[in-house]
Structure 1
Amino acid sequence: MPIHVASRRRSPASLAAAYPGAEIVDVTSRAPEPWVRLSPFFPHGGIPVPYSEGVTSQSVEGIWQALKVFGTADVDPSKLAVTGMRGLKRTVRRYGPVLGHRAGLTGTELLPYETARRLVYLPSYRWVLEHRAADPVERLRRAGETGDVVLLDYTTNGDVADPGSPLSHAALLRLWIEGRWPAGTATAG
């Protein structure tokens, strides 16, 4: 299945040269319908928050940001209710260093970065792929059966264990379509 991941910042000419004849699909929060639904910022609603029985979020990014704990700020449940694709980020500039992600809104355990990726981010994004974005995923799977597909994202890191750069949801989407979802991840909901 010829599915590739490339930076959204590359020029159309560069992408065309690198992937001649490929279908180029932006899957970021700036993408058109239906592809925007594959963005972790998209407000699908009803996404189970790991380690928080009965609590749901509008978006995957809302979960990731809500459970983030900083030097001067704990969890922020308000991020779970954000229905726009802006105003979700919580930054070190404002709150100090990230100490980890809380295992649930009221949990006592702080998860280190890679563990949080595996037990918070991946299960939440997988839940969306299974329950809220199955149609666009299937369209990409079919397109990949007949030709090259390039998924555009702002980052391209698909290695959950590599904390050197942000994790690419497009790379995760590719792994999902290829049946190679990262091992050692929990299931949301």
Structure 2
Amino acid sequence: MFDWSIHPDVLYFTLAVLVVLISAVAWVGNVFMLPGNWLVVGLAALWAWQMPFTEYERGFGWGAVIGLGLLAAFGEIIEAAASAAGAAKKGGSKRGAALAILGAGVGSILGVAVGIPIPFFGPFVGALLGGGLGAFGGAYLGEIWKGRNQKDSADIGTGAMIGKVLGTLGRMAAGAAIVALLTIFIFWPR
């Protein structure tokens, strides 16, 4: 008769690889304006809850989850500050900022579509650049709608675009650190 039981180490490492792969996919979601860093923190919380390090002699506890959550919050602060500062530095309005956010979302989606023909990195670069161009377009239209001249609107749009791209890169850097730390925490023996 065949024994269908799974050795605890095999189960642990299989699930660990799966969590790391899902975390990497979630991290990529940051480019598309998805809450990728928070999904990774959620996976870390699920791991800490279901795979206690006292039982498997590997892994991490709730302190590590809190640390990853703080790092995710830091990434959000970086993105928000860079995006807001980009348009505000040039004197942008709330209307321009709101349309810059909407434009960044639409631009990210269109950027993915444009980048698809380029193997592997095309959709990611397309989403990043499309988000930046969408932020520019949204801020520009918002400022024109508010009654500003084209030069001022273009300056504010440029600030929104630079802020969006730098903010997304900052959030991605925080997310890369979260995924790297999660990987180390999961595989490092106690």
* TM-score normalised by the chain length of structure 1: 0.27
Rg comparison, structure with higher value: 2
